[in-house]
Amino acid sequence: MDKLRVLHALSYSHYPERFYHLLKEMEKYFDIYVLYADYSSYKTLDSLMPSKVYWIPSQNITPVFSLKNYIFLSISNIYELLAKIKPDIIHIHTHYFLSNYQIVKVARRLNIPTLLDIQGIIENKNYLIDMLQYIYLRSSLLRSLLCDVDGVRFVSAYDFTYMKNLCNNLYDKSMLIPNFIEIEKYYIGRKIPHTIVWHGRLVRKKRLDIILRSLELLLHKYGFSDLRFYLVGYGPEFSRLINLAQKYKIVNNIIYKPFLNTQKIIDLLASSEVIPYTSTYEGNPYSLLEAAACGVYPIGFKTPGTYETIYLLNGRIIEDVDVVKLASAIAEIFSEGFNPWVFRERVEKYYSPRVVLRKLREFYQKISARVI
């Protein structure tokens, strides 16, 4: 059977090298092409996958006064590119950028099926956030996009439940398919006692201040004097987090790395014991899957998206957003110990390529058959 020709449409990527490794795994199942709007991400990936990656300059939104020219030029360029590649399906990875709405418009003219990823957009935080979110989902272009694409892939059951009534046939053309990681690359090493790890973007929604406060309790209340916290990532929260670490007197227990390549991340995870996840919302975070594949104990609050993943990984879910309860649970894990292979086996069962990519292939085929 010939491989389906899949064009992945992305607007940007924080970690294009990481996405490259996922694409290489996908190439075992599909003939892969990539369309980028962001030039820096395009250049990085193009160096790794020459002749497979494309960039349309006009996809980057220009000043408002030239918006009309931007729209027509972008549609023209997209039309030429899709006609050249002739993909069997277009997999759109985000709804945040106008260019992806244009891709759907052109694909419909060319009778090319489209699939949209919903990677976690529902934030359950407070009344104001919930109200604004409700208005956005029901009055923005997102609703139009959900109705126009031929298939929608959710990685979170919470998102699907929340959004299933946004258009008439969303339920019929949707499927819950989680993310995957290349599990063979990950391993379980010798665990360093009392080691906590976290990696990702340092942004407000991750609520890293809660993790720092729990570290303060673990160090000063529970007496884990050899506590180590590996913080890997970069973002606008860095300065505030450093100030908090100084305030809580835990600076000497934090090992900060702005960036580590994939192999160094794996080596770090292999020796770590616990990964706390405290975000206000997530989809199906890769960092949790990677950590569990290395036998790291996942723990977090019952927040949208995150708790589903932690539950399937057999981790620990804390019902309330409570620093004291988080610190107490981590202290208990440190004291009682755990079997790291339990988490790896769960990744193999639910998030391995052979499980996820087969589901994705079946969904691609179902969407394509319906359109053609």
Task: For domain 183-350, say whether CATH 3.40.50.2000 is its number.
Answer: yes
Selected residue with higher pLDDT from 264 and 51 = 264
Question: Is residue 70 scored above 80 in pLDDT?
Answer: no
Give yes or no for a contact between 343 and 295, defined as CB atoms under 8 angstroms apart: yes
In the prediction, which pLDDT does 137 show? 63
Radius of gyration of the chain (CA): 21
pLDDT tens sequence across 208-233:
999 999 999 999 999 999 999 999 99
Return the domain boundaries, the chain. Answer: 4-180+352-371, 183-350
- Specify the higher pLDDT residue, 337 or 140: 337
Of 348, 357, 278, 285, the C-alpha closest to 320 is 278
Q: What are phi and psi of 54, to 5 degrees?
A: -130, 155
Q: For strand 4-10 and strand 89-92, is the pairing parallel, antiparallel, or unpaired? A: parallel
Residue pair 178/155 in contact by the 8 Å Cβ criterion: yes
Chain-wide mean pLDDT for the chain?
87
Give the C-alpha separation, 176 to 350, whole Å.
Answer: 12
Percent of the chain with pLDDT strictly greater than 70: 87
The predicted structure's pLDDT at residue 139: 62
Residues in the chain, how many? 372
CATH class of 4-180+352-371: alpha beta
Tell me which residue has tokens 């980028």: 36
pLDDT digits (tens, 9 = 90+) for 325-346: 999 999 999 999 999 999 999 9
| Domains 4-180+352-371 and 183-350 agree in fold | yes
Res 132: pLDDT: 67
What letter does residue 351 receive in the DSSP assignment?
Answer: S
Distance, CA of 213 to CA of 258 (rounded, Å):
21
pLDDT tens for residues 152-193? 999 988 888 878 777 778 888 999 999 999 999 999 999 999
* Portion of the chain with pLDDT greater than 90, in percent: 61
Which of helix, strand or coil describes residue 116?
strand
**pLDDT bracket for residue 57 (50, 70, 90):** low
- Prediction pTM value: 0.88
